[in-house]
């Protein structure tokens, strides 16, 4: 599909009430049907470091945003914005195709399910799934059941895999957020559990207070905000702070590989709270998860095993794809579990390569 942005240099620069210069933008599909201005602005500002877009009003048309992206940000920014639109278009097609997926019990390979980690497996770290990944998952879903299992909450996975118009729970047969402590089957939420209910308020406060004191003494290049993120089934600890930009995230990952900031932090927590029955799992680029032992990603497998009583489908082959499969990584336990067939991948492209080979897609 060809995309271009056309400008008429003979016409004077006219700015609309939204503050954008008017341009004729052709992207090969209807932008009005896509229209997620929040995602466009966030991507351009955070991922590409282009600050002008954060000053633009939220009610600006998508055509104006794309036009301004080409004009103010150059060809690279313009192309990146169009890539977002293509991904959203693919997600929309993915959802529309859902109505023709066979029921779980009628899939050609009905006793097989593929489970995927999110960051680094289906998407770049905290990035969005590409159109190619979504299209491949759609083709795979016609053959067998598919699901994702991630440590993040559903809101983040919605941003990465779905769109504001398309719930991520409609794009997969099984959705396991926070390692399966928040779970969906065919769009319907299943019973969940609470980390703070399990640990208790007093012990939770002791844990958080220790983490904040420890972080205050860490010397790393930058610190931002949201050092402790409370989730339903766990807490996520980030020495740099989850509010860092993509560039800062990448810089911290490189710094951490040299100085083992997270590894030393986890060792201190294990020593201090050895009696609480907690697991500390390093994942992604900037943080690690803390949750009750046994509440790792293998927690989601109970829902898979329960499917036999619901639809009669007995998943005898459970493929799991993840990138943090070494000991200490947040994919390690499910990757090594005897109930799964583990596949260690490096990135979304590697995942696609494996799926094409395994399922003749």
Task: Tell me whether residue 323 is one of the annotated catalytic residues.
Answer: no
**DSSP one-letter code for 340:** S
Phi first, then psi: what are they for 5, rounded to 5°? -125, 120
Nearest by Cα to 114 from 131, 132, 133: 133
Query: Is 117 an annotated catalytic residue?
Result: yes
Q: Confirm if 66 and 28 have CB atoms less than 8 A apart.
A: no
Are 31 and 66 contacting, i.e. CB atoms less than 8 angstroms apart? yes
Tokens of 178: 């926070």
Other C-beta atoms within 10 Å of 357: how many?
A: 9
Q: In which residue are the tokens 């909450």 written? A: 153
- Residues 109, 111, 115, 121: what is their CA dihedral angle, to the nearest 10 degrees? -30
Which DSSP state fits 19?
Answer: S
CA-only gyration radius of the chain, Å: 22
Q: Which residues contact 306 (CB under 8 A, 6 or more apart)?
A: none
Q: What is the DSSP letter of 226?
A: -
Q: Which of 47, 97, 119, 350 is catalytic?
A: 119
Burial 253-285 (b: 16+ CB within 10 A, else e): eebbeeeebbeebbeebeeebeebebbbbbbbb
Distance CA 129, CA 94 (A): 12
Distance CA 24, CA 158 (A): 31
The one catalytic residue in 72, 97, 117, 202 is 117
Under DSSP, is residue 260 helix (H, G, I), strand (E, B) or coil? coil
Question: 22, exposed or middle or buried, with CB in 10 Å at 0-12, 13-18, 19+?
Answer: middle
CA dihedral 23, 26, 30, 34 (to 10 degrees): -70
Cα separation, 224 vs 239, whole angstroms? 9
Which residues are identified as catalytic? 117, 119
């Amino acid at each position: 599909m060809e995309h271009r942005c056309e400008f008429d240099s003979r016409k004077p620069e006219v700015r609309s009430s939204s503050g954008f210069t008017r341009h004729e933008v052709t992207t090969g599909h209807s932008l009005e049907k896509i229209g997620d201005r929040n995602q466009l602005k966030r991507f351009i500002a955070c991922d590409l470091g282009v600050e002008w877009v954060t000053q633009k009003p939220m009610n600006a048309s998508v055509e104006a945003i794309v036009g301004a992206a080409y004009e103010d940000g150059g060809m690279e920014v313009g192309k990146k914005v169009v890539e977002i639109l293509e991904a959203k278009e693919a997600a929309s097609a993915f959802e529309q195709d859902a109505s023709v997926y066979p029921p779980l019990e009628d899939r050609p390979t009905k006793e097989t399910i593929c489970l995927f980690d999110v960051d680094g497996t289906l998407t770049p770290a905290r990035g969005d799934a590409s159109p190619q990944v979504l299209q491949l998952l759609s083709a795979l879903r016609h053959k067998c059941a598919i699901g994702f299992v991630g440590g993040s909450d559903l809101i983040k996975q919605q941003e990465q895999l779905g769109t504001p118009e398309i719930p991520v729970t409609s794009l997969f047969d099984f959705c396991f957020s926070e390692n399966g402590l928040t779970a969906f089957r065919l769009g319907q939420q299943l019973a969940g559990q609470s980390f703070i209910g399990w640990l208790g308020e007093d012990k939770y406060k002791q844990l958080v207070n220790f983490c904040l004191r420890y972080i205050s003494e860490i010397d790393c290049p930058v610190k931002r905000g949201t050092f402790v993120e409370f989730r339903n089934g766990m807490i996520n600890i980030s020495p740099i702070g989850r509010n860092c930009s993509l560039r800062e995230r990448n810089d911290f990952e490189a710094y951490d590989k040299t100085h083992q900031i997270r590894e030393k932090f986890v060792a201190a927590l294990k020593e201090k709270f050895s009696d609480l029955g907690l697991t500390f799992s390093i994942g992604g680029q900037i943080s690690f998860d803390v949750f009750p032992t046994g509440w790792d990603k293998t927690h989601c497998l109970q829902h898979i095993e329960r499917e036999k009583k619901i639809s009669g489908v007995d998943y005898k082959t459970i493929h799991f794809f993840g990138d943090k499969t070494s000991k200490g990584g947040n994919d390690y336990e499910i990757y090594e579990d005897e109930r799964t067939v583990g596949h260690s991948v490096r990135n979304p492209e590697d995942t696609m390569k494996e799926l094409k080979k395994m399922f003749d897609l």
